[in-house]
Amino acid sequence: MGKTSPQGYTFPMTNETNQTQTKNLAKQTVLVGMTGKISSSVTAYLLKKQGYRVIGVCVLWFDDPAQIQNYPQWHIPDINEVKKVCDQLDIEFYGVQGKDVFQAYIEEPYLSARLMGKAFALNCSFHQALFRVLQEKSLKVKADFISTGHFAKITKNQSTQKYNLMTANDLKNDQSHLLARLDQSMLARLDLPLAEVSAVQVKKLGDALGLVDTAKVKKSLRYETREMAAFDEYFRTRVANTFLKEGQIVNWIDQEVLGEHSGIHLYTLGQTSVVGKDNLQLDAHLQIINIDTNAHAVYVVKDTEFQIDHLLLDQVRLDPELNLARPIELFVKVNGDERKFQGLMMVKNSFKAMIELKEKLSFFLPPGEQVCLYQKEGSSSKVLGFGVIQKAGCFHPLGSFLPTIPSKPQKDGPDEDEYEDPQVAKERKQREDQLKTGILF
């Protein structure tokens, strides 16, 4: 039987294992992370209708104009607009500062990764920081639970008393991968009212309630499309110039220098829109596959299909109920990709694991990116854990595990008017052999 709002929209009740149904709501307090988005506003409304005392909290991460420009997706343009929503819902409101947590969890490790030429799971780290701030505030106001507008589900295993993170019913908008870093203590206090509903239903209810999406302006701002010059200027205010050196953009296969750059911090592994020094636009089909911090070189390939059938993961955190003594069948979701890929995981130790994929992947997976591990495809799929990619490639017949991309097609022989120095030819052949075996990173 569904629960019907005063406006006539029916929301399905959670199933018998959902965490919301296990709580005695009388006189309990829930702290809701408010962003001005319809999802968080509707979350607060639903929790109040369920009988909670609801407190809305908006986190201000920064006020530096440079940070606002470089991290627009997390900027709250006007906290008073968020307060108006809380006033409209007749709930308490607090604004809290998250500058120190943002610095420690996001900015410092992210800028360090850029300096080292590595990928960084920026969005997942942000959510880890978010829940840390909400946790601290909830203890101060003595809230019993924490809630957000995420589309994900929390269940409790009654026999083991362990909490499980699950995919939402609305798979298209599922956000369980963003919450994969939350531990048992956090999951035990987390209530997610949007677990069983769709984004379309949330939008309809928000419209019926007259709730205004004050965060709409941010939807058109994408972190990946920020201006390189602005980020360069910002980066140089955070890092000593001695670490920032110019270098070359190089074709990995033939070692041709395609252009120069103003610093490797301006590039990320897997990047496809490659711009050189002085905004020189290079071939749109290029993709960055390696960044050499010693040579200050950015290596690219063109129109390449990658061959990946194994993932070597580091910083692995897994469901405590899993039997790690035998291989585990699962599905892998790469951060930012809606698809899940079937595989078999072998746990090497408490922090490392290898996954053999059922089918080869043809796209680049940069080291440093986070993957989320699921029990199955579809809705209500249990999150088994997460890990950070250390290597992604093919398992060599001799036992070594190496990233692999195909080599450049070979010519039958040199053109009549084309002469290649023997030493140059030898070095080129070595590089192409490296690509075949994956000795790249």
State residue 125's pLDDT score: 93
Q: Are residues 69 and 103 in the same domain?
A: yes
Q: Where are the alpha helices (DSSP H) in 121-198?
A: 122-140, 184-187
pLDDT band at 284 (very low <50, low <70, confident <90, very high): confident
On average, the pLDDT of the chain sits at 84
> Backbone phi, then psi, for 170, in 5-degree steps?
-85, 85
- Per-residue pLDDT averaged across 425-429, rounded? 61
Structural domain boundaries, residue 259 = 245-302
Mean pLDDT, residues 227-238: 82
Give the CA distances from residue 440 to residues 86, 125, 299, 401, in Å, rounded to whole numbers and listed in that order. Answer: 53, 27, 10, 11
* Higher-confidence position of 243 and 423: 243
pLDDT at residue number 416: 41
Task: Check whether 100 has a pLDDT greater than 50.
Answer: yes
Q: Which of 307, 330, 428 is nearest to 387 (CA)?
A: 330
Domain ends where: 272, 302, 332?
302
**pLDDT, average across residues 326-343:** 90
- Looking at the fold, whether 179 and 43 belong to one and the same domain comes out as yes
The answer to whether position 422 is within a domain reads no
pLDDT reported for residue 24: 57
Residue with more model confidence, 322 or 396: 322
pLDDT band (50, 70, 90) for residue 59? very high
Determine the pLDDT at residue 1.
35
Residue 65 confidence (pLDDT)? 84
d(CA 136, CA 138): 6
Average pLDDT over residues 71-92: 92
Tokens of 42: 């509707």
Same domain flag for 341 and 298 = no
Question: Do 256 and 325 have their domain in common?
Answer: no
Residue 46 lies in a domain: yes
The answer as to whether 415 is a domain residue is no
Q: What is the DSSP string of 335-360?
A: TT----EEEEEEE-SSS-EEEEEEEE
Quick one: 363 and 389 in the same domain? Answer: yes
Name the one residue in this structure whose structure tokens are 């409790």.
Answer: 156
pLDDT above 50: residue 139: yes
pTM of the predicted model as reported, rounded to 2 decimal places = 0.83
Residue 432 has pLDDT above 90, yes or no: no
The tally of domains found in the chain comes to 3
The verdict on residue 362 lying in a domain is yes
Q: Which CATH number goes with the domain that contains 193?
A: 3.40.50.620
CATH value at residue 281: 2.30.30
Residues 200 and 178 in one domain: yes
Counts of helices then strands in the chain (DSSP H, E): 10, 20
Number of Cβ within a 10 Å radius of residue 409: 7
- Mean pLDDT, residues 213-240 taken together: 66
The reply to whether 196 falls in a domain is: yes
Tell me, rounded to whole angstroms, the distance of Cα 76 from its chain centroid: 20
Are 42 and 177 contained in the same domain?
yes
Specify the higher pLDDT residue, 217 or 294: 294
Instruction: For the chain, give the percent of residues with pLDDT over 90.
Output: 58
User: Is 71 a domain residue?
Assistant: yes
Is residue 285 domain-shared with residue 140, that is, in the same domain?
Answer: no
For residue 329, the tally of other CB atoms under 10 A from its CB is 11
Paired tokens of 99: 């500058």
Out of 173-182, 196-205, 236-245, pick the least confident.
236-245
**Domain boundary residue among 254, 270, 302?**
302
Alpha-carbon gap, residue 57 to 266, rounded angstroms: 34
Last residue of a domain, one of 302, 319, 350: 302
Using the predicted structure, report yes or no on whether residue 165 has a pLDDT greater than 90: yes
